[in-house]
Amino acid sequence: LATDDGLLILPVDSGADLAAFRVEPTVLDGEPALVERWRVHPGGDLLRAVLLDDLVVVATADRRVVAYDLGGLRRWTLATDDLVLADPVRTADGAVVVHSLDGAVLAIEATDGAVRWRARTRAEADATPAVLDDTVVVFDRSGQMLALDPADGRRRWSRVTTVVAASGAAGGRVVTVDGAGTATGYDAGGRRRW
């Protein structure tokens, strides 16, 4: 992970720690060198690590989601019932959305880690959620694509698609890629556009 101001954040010690480095001049000769700025141990091996604005959010093999600020200070920790194998995403109103393997969807307040709402897909899940405008879209291994309101988790729409291997939001569309590599674009109302 790389921040706009040049901080490089990566797993170290066989994936058990997360460390931040910055290129700085050395004291002795002024030559640039990679200098460790901080190191954290979120507990358990790191499964996912993402940079979400001013937070580094990590999912661990110990079924925890941990958030750090860019200075390495732990902001919050949340235990989950199952592993989180998809990247957490952030909504425009400040929630971190996590979709765990058992299908549980959690919206977590970015500031303090409080759970804003919970939802569930009908099957296991490992595809990254997508955030488009004011809609969170999650996917499960049965092909369900479920759109939720980021404020309260209410269901907006649902449709059945091919199983999603990758997803994101681009060009005003939710873009999915299936296991065969076929990309499909949907609008915010869930209508297939291409």
pLDDT above 90 (res 133): no
pLDDT above 80 (res 27): no
Q: What is the mean pLDDT of residues 16-24?
A: 94
For residue 13, what pLDDT is reported? Answer: 83
For residue 128, what pLDDT is reported? Answer: 95
pLDDT above 90 (res 50): yes
Q: What span, in angstroms and rounded, lies between the C-alpha atoms of 51 and 88? A: 9
With 0-12 / 13-18 / 19 or more C-beta atoms within 10 angstroms meaning exposed / middle / buried, residue 29 is exposed
Q: Which two tokens stand for residue 189?
A: 């109302």
Confidence of residue 31 (pLDDT cuts 50, 70, 90): confident
Question: Which residues partner with 98 through β-bridges?
Answer: 106
- The pTM of this model reads 0.91
